[in-house]
Homo-oligomer: A and B are copies of this chain.
Amino acid sequence: MARPEVPQDALHRLIEALRVLPGVGPKSAQRMAFYLLQHDRNGAAVLAQSLGEAVETVGHCARCNTFSEDQICSTCSDGRRDPSLLCIVETPADQIMVEQTLSFKGNYFVLMGRLSPLDGMGPNEIHFDRLIVRIENPDTGVPVREVVLATNFTSEGEATAHYIGEVLKAKGIKVTRIARGIPVGGELEYVDAGTLARAMMDRRTLG
């Protein structure tokens, strides 16, 4: 069997290596390699160092499972946050989005994925055991009084929320789900029927 050829020279090895980046195909990789060598060798050297360093030092927070260099990440160890409120998100990127809203001052648990049996993502892969420990035997010493499910509104995200919600409700824990509805600035004319139907069902009494 023919093995994929290992590129002979440093330039082609770089082009090949750049393809590990998500969304980068052969053309983009080539463009990036040429760009770096022509216009930003210093930046390329810094990138090489940062990559090596991050691969070595970045692990996962023992409490919330997000990326962290420390045993406990800076968010979890922030004393001004409420550890009795736990927001569950799929990824660190989602956590950052929630943080940017400035609307949540509790702790997080980052699943690092979503349930997706076809992709081999089961409860183990989303670290469900650790989530249960975080809720039932928190090392914060503070019982969790509410779990906010902030997984995506995709079919996998919804299934993940449903699964976690059912298990936690059976344990008598208060579980909420972030609201679905018309986006801020959204126009009814251009919103899909499913979202509009949901917004109608979830309508609120005006204060």
Contacts and interface: CB of A to CB of B under 8 A. Distances in A.
B54 A37 contact: yes
A18 to B, nearest CB: 7
How many copies of this chain? 2
A14 B55 CA distance: 10
Contacts of A38: 112
B34 A93 contact: yes
Interface residues of A, number: 48
Given A14-B54, A45-B55, 18 more contacts: A10-B50, A10-B54, A10-B56, A11-B69, A14-B50, A16-B50, A17-B43, A20-B40, A21-B32, A21-B47, A22-B35, A23-B31, A30-B96, A36-B55, A37-B58, A38-B112, A47-B48, A48-B52
22 contacts: A10-B54, A10-B56, A11-B68, A13-B54, A14-B51, A16-B50, A17-B49, A17-B50, A20-B40, A20-B43, A20-B44, A20-B47, A21-B32, A21-B35, A23-B31, A31-B93, A33-B54, A34-B67, A37-B67, A47-B51, A48-B49, A49-B52
